[in-house]
Amino acid sequence: MTHLTDSTSRIQERSYSIILETFERRLRLGELRVGDKLPSERALAEKHGISRPSVREALRILNALGLIRSSSGSGPKSGAIVISEPSDTLSWALRMHIATRNLPVKDVVSTRLLLEGPAARAAANAPTPRTRSGAGERPRASA
C-alpha cells in the first residue's frame, strides 16, 4: 500500500512541476508579465493533461513565493494574476537560506563582490541614449 501511495505522490509532484516550469519559461520569454491573468485551473489542467489538484498545488506554490495572487469567485478580479517578478522572490529565498544558515553570509558577500564590480563597470561604460546621439556635448551659447 505504501508503494502505491509513494508512486502516486511522485506522479502528482511531477505533475505540478509542469505548471511551475511552464510559468518560469513564459516569464523568461516575456510571454507573462506583472498584471497578466493566468488561465483557469480547468484550462491549465486540460492544456497540460494533469489533474486540477496538481494545478492547485502549483498555484499554491506560486502564491507562497509571492509571484501570483489568487482570488476565488467569478469576474475580472477572480483567478490568478502575476503580481511580482521572480527577482523579488529570489531575494526572499536568499534571505531564507541565510536565515537557516544554509548559505553563509561570507559566501553571499564574496558572490556580490564577484558580480557587482563587473556589473557596475559594464553599466558605467554602456552608452546612454544621450551619448549615442552625440548629445553628450555641451550646447553652445547663442548670441
Please name which of 101, 35, 22, 18 lies closest in space to residue 69, comparing C-alpha atoms.
Answer: 35
Three-class SS of residue 134? coil
Which stretches within 78-104 are classed as H helix? Answer: 86-99
Return the C-alpha cell found at 31. Answer: 510571454
Overall domain count for the chain? 2
Distance between alpha carbon 23 and the CA centroid of its chain, in Å? 8
Q: 79: which DSSP letter?
A: E
* Half-sphere exposure in the Cβ direction for 46 (13 Å, CA): 5
Instruction: Give me the pLDDT at residue 70, please.
Output: 85
Does residue 135 lie in a domain region?
Answer: no
Q: How far apart are CA 48 and CA 21, in angstroms?
A: 11
Domain identity same for 6 and 74:
yes
Domain identity same for 80 and 18:
yes
| Per-residue model confidence as pLDDT tens for the chain (143 residues) | 445 455 555 555 578 999 999 998 998 898 999 999 999 999 999 999 999 999 999 999 888 888 888 887 777 777 888 887 666 666 777 777 777 776 677 777 887 787 788 778 888 888 876 665 555 555 555 54
Instruction: Give me the pLDDT at residue 13, please.
Output: 53
Domain identity same for 69 and 101:
no
Q: How far apart are CA 35 and CA 80, in angstroms?
A: 10
Domain identity same for 100 and 118:
yes
Instruction: Give me the pLDDT at residue 1, please.
Output: 47
Q: Which helix (H) or strand (E) holds 81?
A: strand 79-82
Return the C-alpha cell found at 55. Answer: 494545478
Domain identity same for 24 and 55:
yes
